[in-house]
Amino acid sequence: MNIILVGIQGSGKGTQAKFLSKKFKLCHISTGNLLRNITGDRKKEIDSLINNGKLVPDKTILEILKERMIQDDCENGIILDGFPRNIEQAKLLEKELNIQKVIEIQISDQESEKRLMGRISCPKCGIDYNIYTAPKPQKEGFCDKCGSQLTRRKDDNEESIKKRIKTYHEETKPILNYYKNKLITVNGEQSIEDVSKEILKKISNSPL
Ligand code: AMP
């Protein structure tokens, strides 16, 4: 089974992708994480695009994604988190992977802004926290798991957040219509556990 998670920034795609990847033994690929961890010649240009709230060129991200998708842990299926981000990417993906389900996690623009302004994460183990919503770290500013100091993403600043929300509406949202026959929509403005439950219920109610 291959699944795409779609949702505006901060909707909880990463959190739900982690849950689903465990549940169905699928490989979780976050294109944002792949890009943030890139090394070598491409790093400078990619960092600058990310920090300015711009999308990385389709050809570049597809190349990076293809390298990841052929690894052994992807044999059982993949959950894509952050890809495709536009129709062109959806068309390119079609040549590479057979998608069974597309899950849209819906939250409002106001909620997205609030979550991104409060988002902090652990640079060491990658756990995400939120100072306004959930989950909050037990000790303010420090990771519950490893105790490292939590940091904000460079692109989680007001200017970049506004640009990314605009890009989501203009470029990413049209892919929902592209995938209308495979689409499941869930309410992302409920607890993390309830979002997971809604996803599982809707997956089991709709034929593959
Ligand atoms: P994310 O972690 O999904 O919010 O992604 C962070 C940033 O990585 C985005 O704002 C883009 O600059 C870049 N990025 C992630 N996925 C893609 C994609 N599919 N296409 C182009 N750029 C992407």
Please report the pLDDT score of residue 126 as a whole number.
84
Burial class (CB in 10 A: 0-12, 13-18, 19+), 182: middle
Residues 45-56 pLDDT 10s: 999 999 999 999
| Residue to probe by mutation, ligand 1, list 58, 85, 89, most atoms within 8 Å of CB | 85
Name the residue with the closest Cα to ligand 1, atom 4: 32
| Residue 8 included in any domain | yes
CATH number assigned to the domain comprising residue 101:
3.40.50.300
- Indicate whether 62 belongs to any domain: yes
Whether residue 19 lies inside any domain: the answer is yes
Please give the distance, rounded to the nearest whole angstrom, from the Cα atom of residue 205 to the centre of ligand 1: 31
- In a domain, residue 90? The reply is yes
**pLDDT at residue 208, rounded to an integer:** 62
Token match 């994460």: residue?
A: 121
Parts of the chain with a pLDDT under 50: none
Atom of ligand 1 nearest to the CA of 81: 3
What's the pLDDT at 159? 94
Domain of 198, in residue numbers:
3-108+172-204
On whether residue 80 sits in a domain, the answer given is yes
Q: What is the pLDDT of residue 34?
A: 96
* Cα of 109 from ligand 1 centre, angstroms: 18
Please count the other Cβ atoms lying within 10 Å of the Cβ belonging to residue 70: 9
Residues annotated as catalytic are: 13, 85, 119, 153, 164
In angstroms, rounded to a whole number, what is the distance separating the alpha carbons of residues 38 and 141?
26
Residue with the smallest CA separation from ligand 1 atom 1 is 32
Question: Domains in the chain: how many in total?
Answer: 1
**Cβ-Cβ contacts under 8 Å for 29 (sequence gap 6 or more):** 65, 68, 69, 74, 78, 79, 80, 81, 83
126-166 per-position pLDDT tens digit: 888 999 888 899 999 999 999 999 999 999 999 999 999 99
What pLDDT shows up at residue 134?
Answer: 82
Is 126 a member of any domain? no
